[in-house]
């Protein structure tokens, strides 16, 4: 069962929730997949999404890449959600640590996901800590970028359809880092 650890309300009424739990169990309009540019969902969050959601997610992803080419950092793809308890999956490409300009690429992946959710008219979205697993992005640095990018989006889009954003983390170590960074962000 997923548990909300912290909730932050923005002046617009939109809210960010830091959640301990499994992204594939989130009952939101869409979940964000931490994807690679060719949407090959082998391991990590992507593998878990396809394992629980079904092979149709990979089939739709393959078709998307065939039609549109590789996914970029700033313009994520989206597909149906298969058997997941949501409507869509937004496939965001995060940077691999060491490839250069990682901070900007991660911010683009986050803001691109939020913008696509808004364009799709979604009210609720769950997002994992993109790039902090097998892509090796330092967790504390990623957390700071997440909170800054989310705050910037809600500040500049106060009338967005997107009202609930759940930052959902299953890994205890990552969750601890994001919790500590959350406290620093709120106190700042």
Task: Note the pLDDT tens digit of each residue in 100-124.
Answer: 999 999 999 999 999 999 999 999 9
Predicted confidence at residue 116, as pLDDT, reads 98
Q: CATH classification of 8-187 is 3.40.220.10, yes or no?
A: yes
* Spatial separation of the C-alpha atoms in residues 6 and 17, rounded to whole Å: 6
148 falls in which pLDDT band (50, 70, 90)? very high
The answer to whether 85 touches 30, Cβ cutoff 8 Å, is no
- The C-alpha atoms of residue 12 and residue 158 are separated, in whole angstroms, by 5
Predicted local distance difference test score (pLDDT) of residue 1: 83
Instruction: Name the pLDDT band for 43 (thresholds 50, 70, 90).
Output: confident
Ranges 41-45, 51-55, 159-163: which has the least confidence: 41-45
| pTM for this entry | 0.96
């Amino acid at each position: 069962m997923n548990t909300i650890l912290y909730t932050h309300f923005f002046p617009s009424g939109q809210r960010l929730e830091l959640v301990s739990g499994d992204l594939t169990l989130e009952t939101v309009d869409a979940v964000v997949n931490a994807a690679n540019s060719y949407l090959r969902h082998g391991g990590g969050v992507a593998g878990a999404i396809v394992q629980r959601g079904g092979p149709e997610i990979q089939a739709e992803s393959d078709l998307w890449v065939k039609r549109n080419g590789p996914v970029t950092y700033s313009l994520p793809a989206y597909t149906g959600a298969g058997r997941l308890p949501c409507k869509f999956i937004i496939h965001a490409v995060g940077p691999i640590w060491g490839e250069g300009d990682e901070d900007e690429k991660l911010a683009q992946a986050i803001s691109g996901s939020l913008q696509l959710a808004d364009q799709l008219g979604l009210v609720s979205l769950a997002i994992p800590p993109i790039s902090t697993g097998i892509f090796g992005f330092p967790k504390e640095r990623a957390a700071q970028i997440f909170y800054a990018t989310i705050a910037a989006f809600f500040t500049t889009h106060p009338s967005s359809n997107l009202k609930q954003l759940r930052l959902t983390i299953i890994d205890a170590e990552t969750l601890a880092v994001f919790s500590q960074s959350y406290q620093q962000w709120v106190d700042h």
